[in-house]
Structure 1
């Protein structure tokens, strides 16, 4: 199966951003030239941000869903994101936000893109320079045959942040049709197998690299990125 090449390009979001300009001019999707996109989600401390950046993460997720142990205020997210270099995407992670909730986040934190459930995300008004990362949730009747989307998307289980994996078989079918970021139940020990079996456009991890709920272990962050990269090159 061909590997998508434009993992960071301008069609990955609704408007050009720092990462878009840096990666402009990549070849068409069928030319396998660029490595797996890796996102470390739900950071809460500077050491996790530092580990993700140093290990080569492509994106870092900042969680704005209040019940989550990874929840951040916009002000705290801005402070954590301060050292993040321009080539690493800063993703605002929300579940099913209302417009007012999203606007409140936007007042204090300016992300490169917003991640939220696809149907909800489609109804939100976003600035032109903020991209969209729609989330699709796995279920037994998911229509893999007719799935189609032009921008990258995230595929995970029905519940976020609980370490539960979606069906890798369905994920593999979707990955043949779209730029799918696989999420849910991944960790340094199984991400290699997931990449080899699903061949996703990208991978996303949160609880799988934590020492306790909401606390990332920098060693596991580095191990996850290393294992994902090695499997992608295999």
Structure 2
């Protein structure tokens, strides 16, 4: 397992803590650094070519090299091969891998064996379903997403977050899908996820974040204290 998350997710028993915030779909260095300065814990980079937030290896490398050491980059992949993912990891210095398609438990396990933090997405509207987390025992985060939009993620579609309540009791949950500065505090308060993931909910245009919205989102998310 990579070094970054240990201090933030291995919380001592009885200690209250804030939810981790991942700002996803960054495409520019300055925009990513502004998100970090606003309090983002994780920066997400999308390597899915059909996404309007897709970044090239060169773009991603420029961003990751500019990030502080304690803020990792998460690469988002959709149904890519192990070799392709690892080539991107090596080229861009990724610490976290997000599998946002129909990837197998075996792929997640192989990536975890490479000392990577693995996030696997599960969907309320399509497979793999929210109840399938037990098949992916090597996943460090289990992301709950709607999965009904045109793209695998980043569709700004809100959904019934209560469907993820059971997940939050069993796994290290990352809640996603339609979150924004107005609804994130309520979602965190009700679902108690370990992390939240936002992209379109804080954007100015696709791939460019509105830092005022990012700041408001992070403040709202972290205003709720979680009890382990």
Q: Give the unaligned 5+ runs of structure 1.
A: 1-14
Distance in 1 (CA, whole Å) between partners of 2:78 and 2:196 is 18
* 1:99 Cα deviation after fit: 2.7
Name the residue aligned to 1:221.
214
2:77–2:97 CA contact under 8 A, matched in 1: yes
Q: Give the unaligned 5+ runs of structure 2.
A: none
Name the residue aligned to 2:195.
202
Name the residue aligned to 1:74.
57
Q: Any idea what SS the aligned residue of 2:103 has?
A: helix
Distance in 1 (CA, whole Å) between partners of 2:59 and 2:114 is 24
Q: 1:85 to 1:19 in 2, by over 3 A?
A: farther
C-alpha distance after superposition, 1:131-153 (max 9, x if no partner)? 21111111389564x85457321
Aligned length: 216
Q: Any idea what SS the aligned residue of 1:203 has?
A: strand
* 1:95 Cα deviation after fit: 1.5
2:76–2:100 CA contact under 8 A, matched in 1: no
1:170 aligns with 2:163: yes
Instruction: Compare 103-112 and 122-131 and name the one that shifted more.
Output: 122-131
Q: 1:140 to 1:108 in 2, by over 3 A?
A: closer
2:203–2:209 CA contact under 8 A, matched in 1: yes
Specify which of 71, 74, 77 is matched with residue 94 of structure 1.
Answer: 77
Specify which of 65, 80, 103 is matched with residue 120 of structure 1.
Answer: 103
Q: Within 5 A, what are the aligned runs for 1:27-66?
A: 27-28=12-13, 31-66=14-49
Distance in 1 (CA, whole Å) between partners of 2:216 and 2:145 is 21
Q: Any idea what SS the aligned residue of 1:72 has?
A: coil
Specify which of 139, 142, 146 is matched with residue 153 of structure 1.
Answer: 142
Q: 1:212 to 1:87 in 2, by over 3 A?
A: same
Q: 1:172 to 1:70 in 2, by over 3 A?
A: same
Distance in 2 (CA, whole Å) between partners of 1:216 and 1:133 is 22
Q: TM-score, normalised by structure 2?
A: 0.83
Give the alignment's Cα RMSD to 1 decimal: 2.6
Specify which of 78, 81, 84 is matched with residue 67 of structure 2.
Answer: 84
Specify which of 69, 75, 86 is matched with residue 103 of structure 1.
Answer: 86
Q: Any idea what SS the aligned residue of 1:52 has?
A: helix
Q: 1:76 to 1:175 in 2, by over 3 A?
A: same
